[in-house]
Structure 1
Amino acid sequence: MSDKTTFTVNDMTCGHCVGTVRKALEEALPGAEISVDLASHKVSFTGDRSVGEEAIKEAGYTPEAA
């Protein structure tokens, strides 16, 4: 599997946000290992970095390099 990518998503503020980001990544990167942590605002995933970044953006959030 490819390396893990981590972004900080500061505009992810609640459980609904976590679910939205996770769902967007699951749809964009089927089979990826995904970790979404609300407390630290960190989102990590395996797979194509640019595809994951775009999925987060399309879900309405702002990913920043962690």
Structure 2
Amino acid sequence: MTAVFTVPDMTCGHCEKTVRGALDEALPGAAVTVDLSSKKVTVEGDANKAEEAIREVGYSPERVAA
């Protein structure tokens, strides 16, 4: 299952790295794409786990249609 999120408070390379790291830890081996310019994160796997992982590192993901 593909989950797509907009993360409006992801503003820099450090934010991107933090979000990617949280998703890699929560969903090991899942394909993760982070596009800082559009503030969009796409992840293969459990959408709820992905959303929770992003929130746990301090960001506000908003789910969008894949």
TM bucket normalised to smaller: over 0.9
Percent identity between the aligned chains? 59
- Using the size of structure 1 for normalisation, the TM-score is 0.94
| Structure 2 unmatched ranges of 5 or more | none
Residue 13 of structure 1 is matched in structure 2 by: 11
Query: Tell me, what secondary structure is at the counterpart of 2:18?
Result: helix
- Using the size of structure 2 for normalisation, the TM-score is 0.94
- In structure 2, which of residues 16, 21, 24 is the aligned counterpart of residue 23 of structure 1? 21
| Structure 1 unmatched ranges of 5 or more | none
**Where do 4+ consecutive residues of structure 1 move more than 4 Å?**
none
RMSD over aligned Cα, in angstroms?
A: 0.5
